[in-house]
């Protein structure tokens, strides 16, 4: 005799940057177990692999390539998936850094965060078109989730930064002609980046420094000293203790 089947709810989400509409199901107990084991291992590669696998498993909408979504969209999607699968509230702890009579309070404060309230914050200084010289400009695209998977292949953070910038180039315009990245060899793009001077390179770096990010400001009152804290929480890992 076949065992009864349990109906699985279907949720919807609109990703904030790519604007893709996705139908998804909550993750299962076995998938949650793998995620917990990955987080306990505290290995970035293992965590990334499990997040990718769970999102692929739970995505019902066809034609969604997780690796091609902007990193922030993936993080936002995963937070919402976690909320629908486990619960909306995450319990975090913060240390009170207020000074009382010249000494650090140090009290550990509990703070509950509703992860469905977390939004993607866009920096007013964010600009995807960078003017390198009077005639040459570079159009950049948001780094996608595939760069996280490739992070382990680099020998240094510097190599990774140069390659990520090169891979984020959409096109280069010299005032007369457009040079599209998909029509250019990857090594040529890396060579272009490496031949920039420091000032020009910093203009490209500013694009990454001002990328949209997950952000929520929480207010916590220390029960020991009474100080009111205003804490800005940013990044996926910050919302899980």
Average pLDDT, the chain: 89
Given a cut of 60, is residue 240 above it in pLDDT? no
Task: Tell me, yes or no, whether 63 lies in a domain.
Answer: yes
Shared domain for 235 and 201, answered yes or no, is no
**Mean of pLDDT values over 36-55:** 82
Percent of the chain's residues with pLDDT above 90: 56
| β-bridge partners, 11 | 24
- pLDDT in the model for residue 48: 84
Shared domain for 57 and 171, answered yes or no, is no
Q: What is the pLDDT of residues 6-21, one digit of tens each?
A: 778 999 999 999 999 9
Contact 58, 51 (CB under 8 A): no
Task: Tell me, yes or no, whether 17 lies in a domain.
Answer: yes
- pLDDT in the model for residue 38: 76
Shared domain for 205 and 226, answered yes or no, is no
Task: Tell me, yes or no, whether 44 lies in a domain.
Answer: yes
d(C-alpha 213, C-alpha 215), whole Å: 6
Percent of the chain's residues with pLDDT above 70: 93
Shared domain for 17 and 59, answered yes or no, is yes
- pLDDT in the model for residue 199: 94
**Mean of pLDDT values over 126-154:** 86
Task: Tell me, yes or no, whether 80 lies in a domain.
Answer: yes
d(C-alpha 52, C-alpha 66), whole Å: 7
- pLDDT in the model for residue 160: 76
Cβ-count burial of 165 within 10 angstroms (0-12 exposed, 13-18 middle, 19+ buried)? Answer: buried
- pLDDT in the model for residue 192: 94
Shared domain for 63 and 178, answered yes or no, is no
Shared domain for 79 and 96, answered yes or no, is no
d(C-alpha 214, C-alpha 207), whole Å: 16
- pLDDT in the model for residue 238: 62
* Beta-carbon contacts of residue 20 (< 8 Å; ≥ 6 apart): 14, 61, 64, 69, 73
pTM of the model: 0.85
Shared domain for 166 and 140, answered yes or no, is yes
Task: Tell me, yes or no, whether 4 lies in a domain.
Answer: no
Domain count, the chain: 3
Shared domain for 99 and 83, answered yes or no, is no
Task: Tell me, yes or no, whether 1 lies in a domain.
Answer: no
- pLDDT in the model for residue 75: 92
Shared domain for 233 and 176, answered yes or no, is no
Shared domain for 66 and 34, answered yes or no, is yes
Task: Tell me, yes or no, whether 50 lies in a domain.
Answer: yes
Name the helix (H) or strand (E) containing 110: strand 108-114
Shared domain for 155 and 47, answered yes or no, is no
Domain that holds residue 159: 129-209
**Mean of pLDDT values over 210-214:** 91
Shared domain for 168 and 200, answered yes or no, is yes
Given a cut of 60, is residue 241 above it in pLDDT? no
* Beta-carbon contacts of residue 29 (< 8 Å; ≥ 6 apart): none
Given a cut of 70, is residue 77 above it in pLDDT? yes
Given a cut of 70, is residue 187 above it in pLDDT? yes
- pLDDT in the model for residue 174: 95
Task: Tell me, yes or no, whether 21 lies in a domain.
Answer: yes
d(C-alpha 70, C-alpha 208), whole Å: 12
């Amino acid at each position: 005799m076949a065992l009864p089947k349990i109906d699985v709810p279907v949720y919807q989400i609109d990703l904030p940057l790519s604007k893709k509409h996705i139908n998804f199901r909550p993750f299962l107990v076995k998938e949650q177990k793998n995620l917990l084991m990955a987080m306990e291992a505290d290995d970035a590669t293992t965590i990334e692999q499990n997040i990718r696998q769970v999102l692929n498993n739970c995505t019902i909408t066809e034609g969604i390539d997780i690796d091609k979504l902007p990193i922030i969209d993936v993080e936002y999607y995963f937070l919402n998936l976690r909320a629908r699968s486990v619960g909306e509230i995450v319990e975090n702890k913060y240390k009170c850094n207020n000074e009382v009579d010249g000494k650090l309070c140090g009290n550990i404060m509990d703070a509950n965060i509703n992860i469905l309230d977390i939004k993607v914050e866009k920096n007013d200084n964010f600009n995807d078109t960078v003017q390198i010289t009077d005639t040459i400009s570079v159009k950049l695209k948001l780094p996608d989730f595939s760069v996280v998977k490739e992070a382990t292949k680099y020998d240094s953070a510097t190599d990774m930064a140069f390659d990520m910038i090169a891979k984020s180039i959409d096109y280069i315009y010299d005032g007369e002609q457009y040079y599209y990245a998909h029509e250019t060899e990857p090594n040529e793009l890396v060579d272009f980046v490496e031949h920039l001077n420091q000032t020009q390179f910093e203009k490209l770096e500013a694009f990454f420094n001002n990328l949209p990010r997950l952000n929520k400001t929480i207010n916590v009152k220390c029960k020991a000293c009474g100080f009111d804290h205003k804490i800005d929480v940013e990044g996926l890992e910050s919302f899980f203790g």
